[in-house]
């Protein structure tokens, strides 16, 4: 949707035109859901986040003054809603139900080698273990390819803070993957040793 049309629909929605707001939802839903899914890594959680996003947007639209683009404003709400939900999920870790996780990779092929699948799985798990504030920065930078300045505007922090969070998130990702690899290698060595002993 052209920027001029978005502005027109925003203005109309602020005046109480629900059809204009519905058009805004239709044109932004895919991007909002994709961001929510990449932040939560869970289909159902992403749907919950999107519902909350548009509820907040509808209620807060009257206060929207256009300092940021409407899509940027929506993304900021999405990040806040996802962070709130993930924080609540961490408090509810006692729930034994295993949640289904979305595979957001666009390059998935069944013929991938086992090693590549393990790396991908390790990366996904490491990303899930990041705190929401670090995950948000990493997703906006490495998935959406936003500059430090734009990420800072999305999150309401400085570009310097973005750089710091990116450094921390990437460092934690590397450490998590390295730890998993070392653990896997140790298990393999123990298994091999036991197999040799049993064969003797």
CATH numbers and ranges of domains, the chain:
1-91 (1.10.1740.10), 111-200 (1.10.10.10)
What torsion, rounded to 10 degrees, do the Cα atoms 119, 42, 151, 169 define?
-40
* pLDDT attached to residue 65: 87
pLDDT tens digits, one per residue of 171-188? 998 888 888 777 766 665
pLDDT tens digits, one per residue of 87-138? 887 776 544 433 333 344 444 333 333 334 444 677 778 887 888 888 889 8
Encoded tokens for 73: 């404003």
Mean pLDDT of the chain: 79
> What is the biggest distance separating any 2 CA atoms in the chain, rounded to whole angstroms?
83
CB-CB contact of 9 with 57 (8 Å):
no
For residue 8, the tally of other CB atoms under 10 A from its CB is 14
Q: Which residue intervals of 41-158 are DSSP H helices? A: 43-60, 70-91, 114-129, 132-142, 148-155
- 3-state SS assignment for residue 98: coil
């Amino acid at each position: 949707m052209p920027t001029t049309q978005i502005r027109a629909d925003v203005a109309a929605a602020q005046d109480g035109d629900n059809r204009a707001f519905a058009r805004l939802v239709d044109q932004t839903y895919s991007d909002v859901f994709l961001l929510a899914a990449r932040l939560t890594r869970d289909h159902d959680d992403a749907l919950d986040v999107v519902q909350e996003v548009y509820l907040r947007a509808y209620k807060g639209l009257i206060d929207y003054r256009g300092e940021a683009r409407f899509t940027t404003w929506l993304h900021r709400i999405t990040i806040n809603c996802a962070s709130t939900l993930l924080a609540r999920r961490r408090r509810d870790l006692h729930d034994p139900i295993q949640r289904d996780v979305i595979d957001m990779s666009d390059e998935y092929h069944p013929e991938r080698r086992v090693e590549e699948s393990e790396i991908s799985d390790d990366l996904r798990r490491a990303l899930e273990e990041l705190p929401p504030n670090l995950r948000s920065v990493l997703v906006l930078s490495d998935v959406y390819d936003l500059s430090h300045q734009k990420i800072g505007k999305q999150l309401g922090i400085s570009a310097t803070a973005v750089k710091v969070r990116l450094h921390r998130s990437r460092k934690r990702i590397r450490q998590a993957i390295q730890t998993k690899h070392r653990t896997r290698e140790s298990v393999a060595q123990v298994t091999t040793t036991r197999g040799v002993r049993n064969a003797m």
